[in-house]
Each structure stands twice: as structure tokens, then as C-alpha cells.
């Protein structure tokens, strides 16, 4: 593993200069430069300090990120159905409840609706692929048609319902995961 390059990449992702990282870790800018160029190695204690400033720890840092799955096929996805409410839900990213957002495809049958959710932290976004829906947000009801989207902070009870006589399909993303 190229420790220096990985620290440099993480520092840049955090929008820190070498000097800012050095100051936060009580190190010299020269040491950070040598570390990023693999000209020196940090002690374990120093590495722990640097990683803490970069928002990670030893375990995560040395975890081989190359094995993280980033593309998903139909076989990876999980589907469920609620016949009473008239919807089918497909999780597009397996185990996405551990991530910051959770994308799904929701199909609402004629007369169907998704379950009502209580207010929560985060944000919700949806894009209507086919048909049209009603977005129920507190006492408000908005119609969203094919090719249109919705975005809101869920500060009130909310759900969506099918607004037409054909099946509706939408992509819906929630943060934090709630489906």
C-alpha cells in the first residue's frame, strides 16, 4: 500500500493544504511533504493523529477499498412487494442502509400508494419515470408527472400515491436511509 499517496488523496479530499494538516497534527509542513512522497514513515501514534484529522482510523485506512463494490447488476438488487398498499420496491444498492443515501425504484399500481412516513432528518428526492403521482407532504398535495422530480426535507408526515390509472415508476432517494 502506498501510504503517502493515500494520505495526500485524503488531505486533498478534505481541502486541506499540507501546512493546514501539519498545524492540526502539530507537525511540520516538511514532514507531511516527505510522508506524502514516501520519503519518511510516521510512527503509529503520528499516523493515528493524522488519520483522526482526516476523518478516519487505522482500520478504515488499511481496509482495501479496491474490493468495495461500486457497480450493481439486477441480480444484486432486492425486491419486495406490499399487496395491500399496491407497491413494489426495488433497492438499487444492496445494503444501502449503511450508506448516507438509499436509492430505490418504486412501482405504484393503479390506486397504490407508499406507506406514510413520519418527519425525520435528511432529504428526499424522486424522479417520475412513468405515470404521475401525488406527493402528500403534511397538508399539501402536489402532482408530479413523468419527467418531473420532487425534492424536500421531510419535516412533516409524507407519502406518495398513484395519481392515474396506469402503473407509476419512480426513482426515489432518501437520506438518511429509510426504506
Evaluate whether 3-67 and 74-175 have a shared fold. Answer: no
Sign of CA pseudo-dihedral 100, 138, 179, 88: negative
CATH of domain 3-67: 1.10.260.40
Kindly list the domain boundaries of the chain, sorted by start residue: 3-67, 74-175
CB burial of residue 45 (10 Å; 0-12, 13-18, 19+): exposed
pTM greater than 0.85 (yes/no) = no
pLDDT in tens, the chain (179 residues): 789 999 999 999 899 999 999 999 999 999 999 999 999 999 999 999 999 999 999 988 888 655 667 888 998 889 999 999 999 999 998 877 777 889 999 999 999 999 999 999 999 999 999 999 999 999 999 999 999 999 999 999 999 999 999 999 999 999 888 77
Superfamily of domain 74-175: Jelly Rolls (2.60.120.10)
| Chain segment 11-33, per-residue pLDDT in tens | 998 999 999 999 999 999 999 99
CB burial of residue 51 (10 Å; 0-12, 13-18, 19+): buried
Sign of CA pseudo-dihedral 12, 14, 15, 21: negative
Amino acid at each position: 500500500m502506498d501510504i503517502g499517496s493515500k494520505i495526500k488523496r485524503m488531505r486533498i479530499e478534505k481541502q486541506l493544504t499540507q501546512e493546514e494538516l501539519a498545524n492540526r497534527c502539530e507537525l511540520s509542513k516538511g514532514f507531511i511533504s516527505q510522508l506524502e512522497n514516501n520519503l519518511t514513515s510516521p510512527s503509529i501514534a503520528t499516523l493515528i493523529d493524522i488519520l483522526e484529522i482526516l476523518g478516519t482510523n487505522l482500520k478504515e485506512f488499511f481496509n482495501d477499498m479496491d474490493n468495495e463494490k461500486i457497480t450493481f447488476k439486477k441480480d444484486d438488487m432486492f425486491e419486495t412487494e406490499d399487496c395491500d398498499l399496491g407497491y413494489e420496491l426495488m433497492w438499487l444498492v444492496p445494503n444501502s442502509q449503511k450508506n448516507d443515501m438509499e436509492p430505490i425504484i418504486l412501482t405504484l399500481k393503479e390506486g397504490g400508494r407508499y406507506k406514510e412516513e413520519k418527519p425525520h432528518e435528511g432529504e428526499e428526492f424522486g424522479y417520475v419515470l412513468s405515470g404521475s403521482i401525488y406527493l402528500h407532504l403534511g397538508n399539501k398535495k402536489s402532482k408530479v408527472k413523468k419527467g418531473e422530480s420532487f425534492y424536500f426535507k421531510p419535516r412533516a408526515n409524507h407519502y406518495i400515491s398513484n395519481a392515474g390509472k396506469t402503473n407509476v415508476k419512480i426513482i426515489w432517494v432518501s437520506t438518511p436511509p429509510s426504506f
